[in-house]
Amino acid sequence: MNTTFAEYKDRHKGKKVFLIGNGPSLADTDLDLIKDEISFAMNRVSLIYNKNPDWKPTYYLFSSTNVMPSKPWHREWRSSVREAVSESRTTSFVASKFRSDVDPEGIFKDIKWFDSMSEIKPDLQGNIHPACFSTNVVERIDKTGTTMNLALQLCYHMGFSEVILLGADLGWTHDTGTKSDPNHFVKDYVAEIVRPEKTNNQMRNIHSLALAYFQKDKPDTAFYNASVKSVLDIYPIIDFES
Protein backbone atom coordinates (compact mmCIF):
# COMPACT_ATOMS: atom_id res chain seq x y z
CA MET A 1 0.00 0.00 0.00
CA ASN A 2 1.05 3.59 -0.68
CA THR A 3 -0.52 5.19 2.37
CA THR A 4 1.57 8.32 1.80
CA PHE A 5 -0.67 9.20 -1.18
CA ALA A 6 -3.96 8.84 0.71
CA GLU A 7 -4.07 12.39 2.09
CA TYR A 8 -3.62 13.83 -1.42
CA LYS A 9 -6.86 12.43 -2.85
CA ASP A 10 -8.58 15.33 -4.71
CA ARG A 11 -6.32 17.82 -2.90
CA HIS A 12 -6.07 19.98 -6.04
CA LYS A 13 -9.52 19.35 -7.45
CA GLY A 14 -10.31 21.79 -10.26
CA LYS A 15 -6.81 23.29 -10.37
CA LYS A 16 -4.07 23.59 -13.01
CA VAL A 17 -0.73 21.76 -12.90
CA PHE A 18 2.47 21.76 -14.94
CA LEU A 19 4.31 18.47 -15.55
CA ILE A 20 8.01 19.09 -16.16
CA GLY A 21 9.79 16.62 -18.42
CA ASN A 22 13.56 16.68 -18.84
CA GLY A 23 13.81 17.00 -22.61
CA PRO A 24 16.24 19.37 -24.41
CA SER A 25 13.61 22.10 -24.78
CA LEU A 26 13.60 22.61 -21.01
CA ALA A 27 16.89 24.49 -21.45
CA ASP A 28 14.95 27.11 -23.42
CA THR A 29 12.00 27.30 -21.00
CA ASP A 30 11.73 30.06 -18.40
CA LEU A 31 10.39 28.08 -15.46
CA ASP A 32 10.36 31.18 -13.29
CA LEU A 33 7.18 32.10 -15.20
CA ILE A 34 5.39 29.32 -13.28
CA LYS A 35 6.93 29.99 -9.88
CA ASP A 36 3.45 30.49 -8.39
CA GLU A 37 1.88 27.48 -10.13
CA ILE A 38 1.60 23.87 -8.99
CA SER A 39 4.15 21.66 -10.75
CA PHE A 40 5.62 18.16 -10.79
CA ALA A 41 9.25 17.49 -11.70
CA MET A 42 11.46 14.44 -11.57
CA ASN A 43 14.86 12.75 -11.77
CA ARG A 44 17.78 15.18 -12.36
CA VAL A 45 15.66 18.34 -12.63
CA SER A 46 17.80 19.99 -9.92
CA LEU A 47 20.46 20.53 -12.60
CA ILE A 48 18.31 23.39 -13.88
CA TYR A 49 17.60 25.03 -10.52
CA ASN A 50 20.39 27.59 -10.82
CA LYS A 51 19.02 28.77 -14.16
CA ASN A 52 15.54 29.27 -12.64
CA PRO A 53 16.21 30.69 -9.15
CA ASP A 54 12.60 31.60 -8.36
CA TRP A 55 11.00 28.32 -9.41
CA LYS A 56 11.05 25.05 -7.52
CA PRO A 57 8.60 22.19 -8.15
CA THR A 58 5.67 21.70 -5.81
CA TYR A 59 6.19 17.96 -6.08
CA TYR A 60 9.27 15.92 -6.96
CA LEU A 61 9.16 12.27 -8.08
CA PHE A 62 11.93 9.69 -8.18
CA SER A 63 11.83 5.98 -9.04
CA SER A 64 14.86 5.27 -11.22
CA THR A 65 17.54 2.57 -11.12
CA ASN A 66 20.11 5.18 -12.17
CA VAL A 67 21.07 5.71 -8.49
CA MET A 68 22.03 2.06 -8.04
CA PRO A 69 25.76 1.19 -7.76
CA SER A 70 25.46 -1.02 -10.85
CA LYS A 71 25.19 2.17 -12.92
CA PRO A 72 28.54 3.89 -13.63
CA TRP A 73 26.88 7.32 -13.18
CA HIS A 74 25.07 6.50 -9.92
CA ARG A 75 26.99 9.07 -7.87
CA GLU A 76 26.02 11.95 -10.18
CA TRP A 77 22.39 10.87 -10.13
CA ARG A 78 22.39 10.44 -6.35
CA SER A 79 23.77 13.94 -5.92
CA SER A 80 21.00 15.43 -8.08
CA VAL A 81 18.28 13.50 -6.28
CA ARG A 82 19.58 14.51 -2.85
CA GLU A 83 19.62 18.16 -3.94
CA ALA A 84 16.02 17.87 -5.13
CA VAL A 85 14.70 16.20 -1.97
CA SER A 86 16.48 18.74 0.24
CA GLU A 87 14.49 21.65 -1.27
CA SER A 88 12.18 22.94 1.47
CA ARG A 89 9.55 24.22 -0.98
CA THR A 90 9.10 20.79 -2.54
CA THR A 91 7.21 17.70 -1.41
CA SER A 92 9.23 14.68 -2.53
CA PHE A 93 7.79 11.26 -3.32
CA VAL A 94 10.48 8.58 -3.71
CA ALA A 95 10.11 4.84 -4.30
CA SER A 96 11.20 3.09 -1.11
CA LYS A 97 13.10 0.43 -3.08
CA PHE A 98 15.76 3.13 -3.60
CA ARG A 99 15.94 4.24 0.04
CA SER A 100 19.36 2.65 0.59
CA ASP A 101 20.72 4.42 -2.48
CA VAL A 102 19.14 7.84 -1.96
CA ASP A 103 19.20 8.24 1.81
CA PRO A 104 20.98 5.39 3.62
CA GLU A 105 21.72 7.63 6.63
CA GLY A 106 18.10 8.74 7.08
CA ILE A 107 19.04 12.42 6.70
CA PHE A 108 16.03 13.56 4.65
CA LYS A 109 13.17 13.25 7.13
CA ASP A 110 10.59 14.88 4.86
CA ILE A 111 10.78 12.37 2.00
CA LYS A 112 7.46 10.63 1.46
CA TRP A 113 8.40 7.06 0.57
CA PHE A 114 5.98 4.89 -1.40
CA ASP A 115 6.11 1.11 -1.46
CA SER A 116 3.72 -0.44 -3.96
CA MET A 117 5.10 0.30 -7.43
CA SER A 118 4.58 -1.96 -10.43
CA GLU A 119 6.55 -1.86 -13.66
CA ILE A 120 5.11 -3.84 -16.54
CA LYS A 121 7.84 -3.89 -19.15
CA PRO A 122 6.84 -2.76 -22.66
CA ASP A 123 7.47 -5.22 -25.47
CA LEU A 124 10.27 -4.70 -28.01
CA GLN A 125 8.06 -2.38 -30.07
CA GLY A 126 7.15 -0.25 -27.04
CA ASN A 127 3.59 -1.53 -26.68
CA ILE A 128 2.24 -1.40 -23.13
CA HIS A 129 -0.45 -3.11 -21.05
CA PRO A 130 -3.61 -1.25 -19.90
CA ALA A 131 -2.58 -1.95 -16.27
CA CYS A 132 0.33 0.45 -16.76
CA PHE A 133 -2.00 3.20 -15.54
CA SER A 134 -3.37 2.82 -12.01
CA THR A 135 -6.54 4.66 -11.01
CA ASN A 136 -5.85 3.84 -7.35
CA VAL A 137 -2.32 4.96 -6.48
CA VAL A 138 -2.83 4.19 -2.79
CA GLU A 139 -3.11 0.55 -3.78
CA ARG A 140 -0.50 0.65 -6.57
CA ILE A 141 1.29 3.15 -8.77
CA ASP A 142 2.97 2.15 -12.03
CA LYS A 143 6.39 3.25 -13.30
CA THR A 144 6.31 1.60 -16.75
CA GLY A 145 8.30 3.48 -19.37
CA THR A 146 8.88 6.77 -17.58
CA THR A 147 8.68 8.59 -14.25
CA MET A 148 6.24 10.90 -16.04
CA ASN A 149 3.77 8.01 -15.73
CA LEU A 150 3.83 8.48 -11.94
CA ALA A 151 3.01 12.16 -12.40
CA LEU A 152 0.07 11.41 -14.71
CA GLN A 153 -1.42 8.95 -12.22
CA LEU A 154 -0.97 11.42 -9.36
CA CYS A 155 -2.74 14.09 -11.43
CA TYR A 156 -5.67 11.68 -11.70
CA HIS A 157 -5.54 11.04 -7.95
CA MET A 158 -5.21 14.69 -6.93
CA GLY A 159 -8.09 15.86 -9.12
CA PHE A 160 -6.48 18.43 -11.40
CA SER A 161 -8.71 19.78 -14.16
CA GLU A 162 -5.94 21.21 -16.39
CA VAL A 163 -2.62 19.49 -17.11
CA ILE A 164 0.13 21.27 -19.06
CA LEU A 165 3.36 19.56 -20.11
CA LEU A 166 6.75 21.24 -20.45
CA GLY A 167 9.98 19.64 -21.65
CA ALA A 168 8.04 16.59 -22.88
CA ASP A 169 9.88 16.46 -26.18
CA LEU A 170 10.20 12.80 -27.22
CA GLY A 171 12.28 12.36 -30.38
CA TRP A 172 14.82 10.27 -28.44
CA THR A 173 18.07 9.30 -30.18
CA HIS A 174 20.60 6.60 -29.33
CA ASP A 175 22.93 7.31 -26.43
CA THR A 176 24.86 4.98 -24.13
CA GLY A 177 25.16 7.31 -21.16
CA THR A 178 27.74 9.69 -22.60
CA LYS A 179 28.56 13.18 -21.38
CA SER A 180 27.15 14.48 -24.68
CA ASP A 181 23.56 13.50 -23.91
CA PRO A 182 21.31 14.64 -26.81
CA ASN A 183 18.07 13.69 -25.07
CA HIS A 184 17.98 15.97 -22.03
CA PHE A 185 18.29 19.63 -21.09
CA VAL A 186 22.00 19.45 -20.26
CA LYS A 187 24.67 17.44 -22.06
CA ASP A 188 25.97 15.78 -18.89
CA TYR A 189 22.54 14.57 -17.76
CA VAL A 190 23.66 10.98 -18.51
CA ALA A 191 20.97 8.39 -19.27
CA GLU A 192 20.95 5.37 -21.56
CA ILE A 193 18.67 5.25 -24.59
CA VAL A 194 19.64 1.97 -26.22
CA ARG A 195 16.56 1.45 -28.43
CA PRO A 196 15.28 4.95 -29.29
CA GLU A 197 12.45 3.79 -31.55
CA LYS A 198 11.08 1.57 -28.76
CA THR A 199 11.56 4.37 -26.21
CA ASN A 200 9.68 6.89 -28.33
CA ASN A 201 6.82 4.44 -28.89
CA GLN A 202 6.48 3.47 -25.25
CA MET A 203 6.60 7.10 -24.09
CA ARG A 204 3.88 8.09 -26.53
CA ASN A 205 1.86 5.02 -25.53
CA ILE A 206 2.10 5.96 -21.85
CA HIS A 207 0.64 9.40 -22.59
CA SER A 208 -2.05 7.90 -24.84
CA LEU A 209 -3.06 5.40 -22.16
CA ALA A 210 -3.25 8.08 -19.46
CA LEU A 211 -5.31 10.33 -21.72
CA ALA A 212 -7.72 7.47 -22.43
CA TYR A 213 -8.31 6.92 -18.70
CA PHE A 214 -8.91 10.62 -18.13
CA GLN A 215 -11.29 10.86 -21.08
CA LYS A 216 -13.26 7.89 -19.75
CA ASP A 217 -13.36 8.80 -16.05
CA LYS A 218 -12.67 12.54 -15.92
CA PRO A 219 -13.69 13.86 -19.34
CA ASP A 220 -13.58 17.52 -18.29
CA THR A 221 -9.83 17.41 -17.64
CA ALA A 222 -7.94 19.45 -20.26
CA PHE A 223 -4.46 18.47 -21.44
CA TYR A 224 -1.97 20.68 -23.32
CA ASN A 225 1.62 20.36 -24.47
CA ALA A 226 3.44 23.67 -24.00
CA SER A 227 6.93 22.24 -24.60
CA VAL A 228 9.03 24.65 -26.69
CA LYS A 229 9.93 21.85 -29.12
CA SER A 230 8.13 18.53 -29.08
CA VAL A 231 7.03 15.63 -31.27
CA LEU A 232 4.55 14.44 -28.64
CA ASP A 233 1.39 14.89 -30.66
CA ILE A 234 -1.47 13.46 -28.61
CA TYR A 235 -2.21 16.71 -26.73
CA PRO A 236 -3.09 20.12 -28.22
CA ILE A 237 0.03 22.27 -28.63
CA ILE A 238 -0.03 25.68 -26.95
CA ASP A 239 2.53 28.47 -26.61
CA PHE A 240 4.08 28.42 -23.14
CA GLU A 241 4.92 32.09 -22.76
CA SER A 242 1.47 33.18 -23.98
Mean pLDDT of the chain: 97
Band of pLDDT at residue 1, cut at 50, 70 and 90: very high
DSSP assignment of the chain, as one string? --GGGGGGTTTTTT-EEEEE--SGGGGG--GGGGTTSEEEEETTGGGGTTTSTT---SEEEE--GGGSTTSTTHHHHHHHHHHHHT-TT-EEEEEGGGHHHH-TT---TT-EEE--EE-----TT----GGGS-S-TTT-EE-TT-THHHHHHHHHHHT-SEEEEES-------EES-SS-SSSSSTT---EES-HHHHHHHHHHHHHHHHHHHHHH-TT-EEEE--SS----SS-B--S--
**What pLDDT does 129 receive?**
96
**What pLDDT does 62 receive?**
98
pTM: 0.97
Percent of the chain with pLDDT over 90: 99
Rounded average pLDDT over 35-55: 98
> pLDDT tens digit string along 143-195?
998 999 999 999 999 999 999 999 999 999 999 999 999 999 999 999 999 99
**What pLDDT does 145 receive?**
83
> pLDDT tens digit string along 201-226?
999 999 999 999 999 999 999 999 99
